[in-house]
Amino acid sequence: MAVSANIENPPVDAARLYPQHIAILMERAARALDKCQREHLLIAAGVEKYRFLDDRPVPFETNPHFKAWLPLLEHPGCWLKVTPGHKPHLFYFQPEDFWHKPPADPEGYWTEEFTISVFRDPDALRALLPPPERCAIVGEADAAREDWVPDNPPALLDHLHYHRAFKTGYELALMREASRLAVAGHRAAEAAFRAGASEWGIHHAYLRACGHGELDLPYASIVGLNANAAILHYQHRERIAPPQALSLLIDAGASASGYAADITRTYSGKQGEFSALVEKMDALQRALVEQVRPGVDYRDLHRDCHRRLAVLLAESGLLRCSPEQALEQDLVAPFFPHGLGHLIGLQVHDVAGFAASEDGGRIERPEGHPYLRLTRRLEPGMVVTIEPGLYFIDSLLAKLRARPEGAHVDWARVEALAPYGGIRIEDDVACTADAPENLSRDAFAAA
């Protein structure tokens, strides 16, 4: 694990704000338990899993509900008990193991907020946990211990997930730290691109600069040179650099104590029509970020992105029609097929993006926008991504060319730009009571 992301070295603000964070989680848990008429909330960190027909473990991923309370990311077998009116109780699994290094003794800024019971034998857990019928148990099915089987009460999860969108001061401090780490990686990635590195080389320059190993990343980095930038979730990293590096799209994040950053930048290898398009997209993205304000419906922000892209496509000559015609005839979506962004925090695509209220319900996507991941109204404390894109995707453009409306496209210009792949610019943005806080650009400025 990267030193900067280690629980022993949190940002100073995070350690100072942690007690208040726990107090807020206790309040949320008490209200959620009341809704499902349970006395205790039990959260399983999760268990180690193994590859099919093999004895090698797959990388452990802790339950997001567990890491909301504790910066323990590599601790399978642990359980947390939350009882309103009492200090939260951590059951800390520290097995005797001569094959692997067991977890260290509990220490650090977080320990003062918990009662901690260390157990070494998994069977000892049954004497520590309260009767299961009095508990709401949150976790994966395979985390079950005898009668303590995760039931994940919907009323409880609806409440907790809805409020998870509102970040505490502690969470924001860690997300700023994650952004700082990610920006170090992005700066190194751009330098490697300018020096002629392959996708593989750019990826490893990124890892070195942010101090992460592959498993520390909150998601697999997308590193696309040239036409590969048109593949939205491009999953490969070619080891040989192309003869000419026209463009780089890098979508890569970092983690700090379990909280994610998610940043995308696009670079042009030379000055020209594509570099001018990147600059215009950057201005468009900044204008959208400025609208991250209390009361704004994220669906409206997504639709405004389509309006702005229609103008850009017309002004750039890619479309030979008015912006109004482009929207009416669905000419923007083939160039921008995904949603504007999503909630981010404990998970990159964080939960409850469609939640109507703390009691459940769903706010549907606008018709014709099937990939939007967030439909809620923005409120202070939410952190969202703003990531407009403009791509030259062969399969989508082929369908557009076959439509009568394809006559509005300047196909010669599209074919000239297609080797560059596409553009995406993404920032993590916190909604406040006033102007938005751009975690990503603030980190770039500080760097």
pTM of the complete model: 0.96
SS3 at position 101 = coil
Q: Which residues are 116's β-sheet partners?
A: 90
- 37 dihedral zone (left: phi>0; alpha: psi -120 to 50; beta): left
Which pLDDT band holds residue 11 (cuts at 50, 70, 90)?
confident
For 190, 332, 385, the CA distances from 207, given in Å and listed in that order, are 13, 35, 22
Is the separation of the CB atoms in 28 and 162 below 8 Å? no
CA proximity to 165, closest of 373, 442, 440: 373
pLDDT at 12 over 90: no
pLDDT at 6 over 60: no
Helix (H, G, I), strand (E, B) or coil at 223: strand
Q: What is the pLDDT of residue 10?
A: 72
Over range 352-373, report the average pLDDT: 98
Indicate whether 7 pLDDT > 50. no
The string of DSSP codes covering 368-414 is: T-TT----SBP-TT-EEEE--EEE--HHHHHHHHHSGGGGGB-HHHH
Report how far residue 227's alpha carbon sits from residue 418's, in angstroms, rounded to the nearest whole number.
Answer: 7
How does the average pLDDT of the chain come out, rounded? 96
What is the sign, positive or negative, of the torsion defined by CA atoms of 142, 143, 146, 148?
A: negative
- The residue-averaged pLDDT of 104-117 equals 96
**Hey, what CATH topology would domain 169-446 get?**
Creatine Amidinohydrolase (3.90.230)
One of 1.10.150.530, 3.40.350.10, 3.40.120.10, 3.40.50.300 is the CATH number of 3-164, namely 3.40.350.10
Quickly tell me which residue has 């409306």 as its tokens. Answer: 405
Domain map of the chain by residue range? 3-164, 169-446
The pLDDT-based confidence of 2 (bands split at 50, 70, 90) is very low
Segment 152-200, tens digit of pLDDT: 999 999 999 999 999 999 999 999 999 999 999 999 999 999 999 999 9
Helix (H) or strand (E) holding 155: helix 154-164
Two structure tokens written together for 219? 């998601």
pLDDT higher than 80, residue 258:
yes
For 126-145, what is the mean pLDDT?
96
Q: What is the pLDDT of residues 379-412, one digit of tens each?
A: 999 999 999 999 999 999 999 999 999 999 999 9
For the segment 195-222, the average pLDDT, to the nearest whole number, is: 98
Residue 1 pLDDT more than 50?
A: no
Cβ neighbours for 141, distance < 8 A, ≥ 6 positions apart: 149, 150
| Average confidence (pLDDT) over 333-350 | 98
pLDDT in tens, 21-76: 999 999 999 999 999 999 999 999 999 999 999 999 999 999 999 999 999 999 99
Q: What is the rounded distance in angstroms from the CA atom of residue 193 to the CA atom of residue 205?
A: 10
**Confidence (pLDDT) at 9:** 65
Query: Residue 446: pLDDT above 90?
Result: yes
Residue 349 pLDDT > 80:
yes
